[in-house]
């Protein structure tokens, strides 16, 4: 059976060159990067090279990047390390659990929390953020692109609001690093989280950008690695793999974006060709990420039928999978409950071909025909 993985937003397969590099590091560069001898020095060089590569692609200083064990860990280190108990945080209702659960815990300890809902376009209005600012507001944390909707926030405008009021801005950019160009010299984000497995790198390695001048308290105790913010012997091969994966994604970012957008247009053209009834929720979205409703159809059943045909998609995000309830994120974005329950996230990337896209729609059409007439326009 043909297998097509259309869940690029959940994770990506690791690029072959990244696998080769990591395998050679596992074999040859095993010294502890903190050791003084040559073995240690070689490992240290590998880590610093990755740091330089990542800083170059994001246009920041290498001292501003710390490596972490995931995007989740980067979010925890940033938020818990910064926020004072009697302060105020402005965030959104649709943050990833690795932000949401941290700020909710901070709220329990006395921090005031304001959560803003997205508009119908899936974006957070910078003006609404500005309205909520009070004299105690210490932090604004807003994700760059939403993991279920694929909508992209106007982080440039939000950063202007944060700067105007001298408030620290943290951005969870896990979904869009490697998919959209990000220039940290131009956009004044103070802290930004990323994760390698979203851009064809390995799982279990992430990074946090911390702009010079931002001081975080340490939330993990250990041997002092990574500015004492993420102590523990470094994942040398993972870090190197992340550096290479990000360089490759960003060196060809414009070409990749237009290739994936072309696939997306083909997908939509094919849906129309097969006269499939669908509603695309978000217009301005990450390349290749489609939150798409099939009115009258149960999204979970559709996901399972597609899976039986070898096609992998999501109902909500990977983190919320397994639930049959309508996604709260879709409801908050003004999508009604029935339509939310009929919505799948289908995400394409540079690994796909036009034939893959045509095959997916062909199978979708066969399944929907079986489901009944309602699914046809």
Closest CB 287 distance from ligand PLP, rounded Å: 16
**Which among 49-57, 172-180, 291-299, 363-371 is the span making contact with ligand PLP, rule CB under 6 A?**
172-180
Residue choice 7, 172, 264, 332 for contact with ligand PLP (CB under 6 A)? 172
Instruction: Say how far apart CA 230 and CA 227 lie, in whole Å.
Output: 7
Partners of 206 in the β-ladder: 68, 195
Closest CB 74 distance from ligand PLP, rounded Å: 8
**Residues binding ligand PLP: number (CB under 6 A):** 13
Pairing of strands 289-293, 343-347: antiparallel
What distance lies between CA 81 and its chain's CA centroid?
A: 21
Site map (CB under 6 A) of ligand PLP, residues 206-225, x = contact:
x-------------------
Matching residue, tokens 């972490």: 68
Nearer to ligand PLP, 71 or 293 (CB): 71
319 catalytic per annotation? yes
Is there binding between residue 22 and ligand PLP (CB under 6 A)? no
Closest CB 210 distance from ligand PLP, rounded Å: 17
Closest CB 96 distance from ligand PLP, rounded Å: 3
Closest CB 150 distance from ligand PLP, rounded Å: 11
Closest CB 195 distance from ligand PLP, rounded Å: 3
Tell me which DSSP letter residue 37 carries: S
**Window 145 to 164, contacts with ligand PLP (CB under 6 A):** 147
Matching residue, tokens 């290498």: 62
Q: Where are the alpha helices (DSSP H) in the chain?
A: 16-28, 38-58, 71-82, 97-108, 126-132, 155-164, 236-251, 253-273, 299-308, 328-332, 337-341, 354-371
How many other C-beta atoms can be found within 10 angstroms of the C-beta atom of residue 373?
Answer: 9
Is there binding between residue 98 and ligand PLP (CB under 6 A)? yes
Instruction: Say how far apart CA 106 and CA 85 lie, in whole Å.
Output: 7
CB-based contact 361:270 (threshold 8 Å): yes
Instruction: Say how far apart CA 268 and CA 249 lie, in whole Å.
Output: 25
Residue choice 21, 143, 303, 367 for contact with ligand PLP (CB under 6 A)? 143
Is there binding between residue 141 and ligand PLP (CB under 6 A)? no
Is there binding between residue 299 and ligand PLP (CB under 6 A)? no
Rg (alpha carbons) of the chain, rounded to whole number? 21
Nearer to ligand PLP, 98 or 137 (CB): 98
Nearest residue to 215 (alpha-carbon basis) of 64, 60, 103:
64
How many other C-beta atoms can be found within 10 angstroms of the C-beta atom of residue 228?
Answer: 15
Instruction: Say how far apart CA 267 and CA 348 lie, in whole Å.
Output: 10
**Window 58 to 87, contacts with ligand PLP (CB under 6 A):** 70-72
CB-based contact 167:351 (threshold 8 Å): no
Site map (CB under 6 A) of ligand PLP, residues 308-347, x = contact:
----------x-----------------------------
Positions in the binding site for ligand PLP (CB under 6 A): 70-72, 96, 98, 143, 147, 172, 174-175, 195, 206, 318
Catalytic positions, please? 319
């Amino acid at each position: 059976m043909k297998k097509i993985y259309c869940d690029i937003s959940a994770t990506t397969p690791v690029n072959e060159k990244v696998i080769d590099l990591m395998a050679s590091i596992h074999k040859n560069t095993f010294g502890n990067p903190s050791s003084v001898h040559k073995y240690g020095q070689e490992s240290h060089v590998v880590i610093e090279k990755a740091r330089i590569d990542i800083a170059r692609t994001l246009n920041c200083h290498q001292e501003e990047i710390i490596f972490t064990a995931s995007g989740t860990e980067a979010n925890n280190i940033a938020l818990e390390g910064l926020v004072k108990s009697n302060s105020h945080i402005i965030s959104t209702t649709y943050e990833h659990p690795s932000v949401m659960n941290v700020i909710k815990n901070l709220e329990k300890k006395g921090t005031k929390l304001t959560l803003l809902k997205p508009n119908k376009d899936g974006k957070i209005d910078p003006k609404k953020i500005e309205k909520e600012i009070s004299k105690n507001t210490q932090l604004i944390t807003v994700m760059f692109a939403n993991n279920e909707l694929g909508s992209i926030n106007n982080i440039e405008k939000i950063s202007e609001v944060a700067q105007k009021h001298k408030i620290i801005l943290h951005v969870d950019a896990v979904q869009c690093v490697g998919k959209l160009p990000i220039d940290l010299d131009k956009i004044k984000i103070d802290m930004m989280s990323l994760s390698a497995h979203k851009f064809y790198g390995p799982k279990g390695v992430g990074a946090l950008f911390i702009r010079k001048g931002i001081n975080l308290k340490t939330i993990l105790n250990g041997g002092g690695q990574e500015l004492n913010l993420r102590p523990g012997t470094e994942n040398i091969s993972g870090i190197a793999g992340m550096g290479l994966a990000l360089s490759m994604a960003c060196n060809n970012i414009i070409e990749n974006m237009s290739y994936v957008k072309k696939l997306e247009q083909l997908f939509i053209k094919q849906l129309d060709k097969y006269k499939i009834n669908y509603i695309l929720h978000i217009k301005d979205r990450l390349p290749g990420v489609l939150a798409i409703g099939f009115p009258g159809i149960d999204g979970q059943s559709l996901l399972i039928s597609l899976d039986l045909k070898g096609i992998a998609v999501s109902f909500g995000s990977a983190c919320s999978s397994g639930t049959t309830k309508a996604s709260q994120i879709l409801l908050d974005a003004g999508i009604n409950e029935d339509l939310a329950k009929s919505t799948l996230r289908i995400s394409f990337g540079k690994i796909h071909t036009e034939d893959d896209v045509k095959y997916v729609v062909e199978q979708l059409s066969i399944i929907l025909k079986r489901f009944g007439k309602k699914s046809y326009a």
